[in-house]
Structure 1
Amino acid sequence: MDSTEVAKQENIQRMTSNENTAIVIDNENDAKFLMKATEMQLEKISLGKLAQQKGNSAEVKAFGKMMEDEHNASLTEIRTLAQSKSISIPTTVSEDSKDHYDDLNEETDNDFGKSYSKMMVDQHEDAIDLYEDAIEDTEDPKIKAWATKKLATLRTHLERAKQFKDKNDNLNS
């Protein structure tokens, strides 16, 4: 069982032992958000490290380094936030993330940069959707404030990823 499943089971056990159903429902949405946000951070860190290893240009390596550094900082914040809310979160990448890593690891040369940059655009679009939903759905002021703050960073990352993708798409294979 991967760490996402372990965290999910821990959260279910914690919530079902709580007698206040309204709080359980709110906590469940917050727990799902923090778990998914954590999965996303872990995956971007993992793929960023891979880009630094396999990237065939300084730009690919630099983008990977930026993703690793900035998402490591976000991961530290999520861990603190989740701990303050008694929410369990994953500690390692999910099986889906491992599959994405393995698929990307098979790419070489310019194809690696193209695939990595496309993946970063897609993942940041997904992250923005997740964070916007969380901001709308949560009633927890700390989670809402954190998600709002991170949304601006994610939008910046998306713009950089799109520029990065455009450059990579114009390279010859």
Structure 2
Amino acid sequence: MRRLLAVAALAALTCLAIVPPASAQSAAAQPAQTDAAGYVEQTTISNLFEVSAGQAALQKASTEEVRSFARMMLDDHTKASEQLAEAAKGQDLSLPTSVDARHDQLLQDLASATEQDFDRLYMRTQVEAHTAALKLQQDYSSFGANPALKAIATQLAPTIKRHLDQAQTILDRLAKA
């Protein structure tokens, strides 16, 4: 009987060592990017990328549907950039003026794409970029500490979701063509 109790006690201690406390679990469930400076930087880079990629699509896209989507990207992401700059004003938050290395490589890939490959590549990057952007906005909307930026994230999330849905629909149509 003592041996059975000792085994049970050892098993309980082992379980406690494996399962982190509730406070650690809830912290791990939260996204990593909830600070204002990181949010502003990532959102600004995303907007800069969307504007640059949209300009490339206006020049290289072979279908009107893709060019129309690109015009929407230019309009909506320029407006989002202006809103973010206004919200960040006076809060000692700097906005990047260029994209990061990863987005720069994506822009180079778009620039070097052949005419027949451009539309699918552009739309594939749009699906990937808007998937990441949507997560960023939803995370900051839920967990961000800055009320002005949280309001921006809450406002941008539905627009980005609409962009993502449209990009996926266009990509699906291009894949069938």
> Is TM > 0.5 for Structure 1 vs Structure 2?
yes
1:34 — aligned with what? Answer: 40
| Correspondence list, 1:61-76, <5 A | 61-76=67-82
Q: Is the 8 A contact 2:84 2:149 kept in 1?
A: no
- Paired residue secondary structure (1:84): coil
One of 85, 88, 93 as aligned partner of 1:79: 85
| 1:102 equivalent in structure 2 | 108
What is the SS of the residue equivalent to 1:90?
coil
Tell me which residue corresponds to 1:10. none
Q: Distance in 2 between the 1:36 and 1:139 partners?
A: 16
Give the superposition deviation at 1:96.
2.2
Aligned residue number for residue 49 of structure 1? 55
Summarize deviations over 1:73-112 as a string: whole Å, max 9, x none: 1011111111132200101222322211111111122311
In the alignment, which residue of structure 1 is the partner of 2:16? Answer: none
**Matched residue pairs, number?**
144
Q: Secondary structure at the match of 1:86?
A: coil
Identity of aligned residues (%): 28
Q: CA deviation at 1:164?
A: 1.1
Query: In angstroms, what is the RMSD of aligned CA positions?
Result: 1.3
State the match for 1:166 in structure 2.
172
Instruction: Give the Cα separation in 1 of the matches to 2:41 and 2:100.
Output: 11
What residue is the counterpart of 1:130 in the other structure?
A: 136
Give the Å deviation of 1:50: 0.2
Name the SS for the 1:100 alignment partner.
helix
Q: 2: distance between equivalents of 1:84 and 1:169?
A: 46
- Does the Cα contact within 8 Å between 2:41 and 2:95 map onto a contact in 1? yes
**Kept in 2: contact 1:43–1:93 (CA 8 A):** yes
Q: Does 1:117 find its partner at 2:123?
A: yes
Alignment partner of 2:98: what SS? coil
User: Aligned partners of 2:112 and 2:154: how far apart in 1?
Assistant: 36
Where does structure 1 lack aligned partners over 5 or more consecutive residues? 1-27
Letter matched to residue 167 of structure 1: R
Residue 92 of structure 1: aligned partner: 98
Structure of larger gyration radius: 2
8 Å contact 2:39–2:136 — kept in the other structure? yes
